[in-house]
Structure 1
Amino acid sequence: MPFTFVGIDHVQLAAPAGCEKAARSFFGGVLGWIEIRKPERLIDRGGVWFQCGKHQVHIGVQKNFIPAEKAHPAFQVKHIAALRENLIQHQITVIDDDNREDEGLTRFFLNDPFGNRIEFIESGEC
């Protein structure tokens, strides 16, 4: 093949209009992700972008927004127990899932402020 996939540049999560304050509070405040300035020509569309490790997460405004309750990104984490405790301290509901423990994976889910499902996962190799 004359082309090669390198990886993922960014993940976009949809949110309703006016989501920016809640997105900054959750993704920037609770998760500690760094906000990235959007390109000037995209600012009027609303939403907000963040850096997550070496990838970006774009929170984009969607007209007639409906949260993604099944399809979801899974973010790799080091020290997932500390993340879980941080979320609980912020009164965020964490949904534990041990279905892949036999593979050496620890993981849990949550819903972002807009109802989108998000997974956090740590392998025993981290």
Structure 2
Amino acid sequence: MLFDRNGVTYGNAISHTAGSGTFTINQPGLYQANFHGVLSADPDSSFPVNIVTSLQQNGSIVPGASIPHNFQSSTESVPISFSIPLSISSVPTTLQVVAQGATQIPSAITLNVIRLGDLSS
């Protein structure tokens, strides 16, 4: 999914280029990723269709950060969200929200990535 703008940013621990789907973690630490949005299946899909929306870290799905939904019609929209802590020890690390299973139409999507602090030694 593409995120067209950036909100409040402070420091350089997290970077994102507006219009991109990739967030980059540049500093080891404990982070919180909060995703919210509305998802619809493409009207040209063959229903029912299952779409799974997940947070990926360096291309791998983050356990506990996946939301499946089985769409029954092209008029159906569903709010989706997840909030998950991330322990990042190796940088740079990339984060992306990916929907798989069928073509989807995301709207009103946000991904907030917040650095909570350093990792324990």
Structure with the largest fraction of strand: 2
* TM-score normalized with structure 2 length: 0.30
Higher helix proportion (structure 1 or 2): 1
Greater RCO (Cα-Cα under 8 Å, separation 6 or more): 2
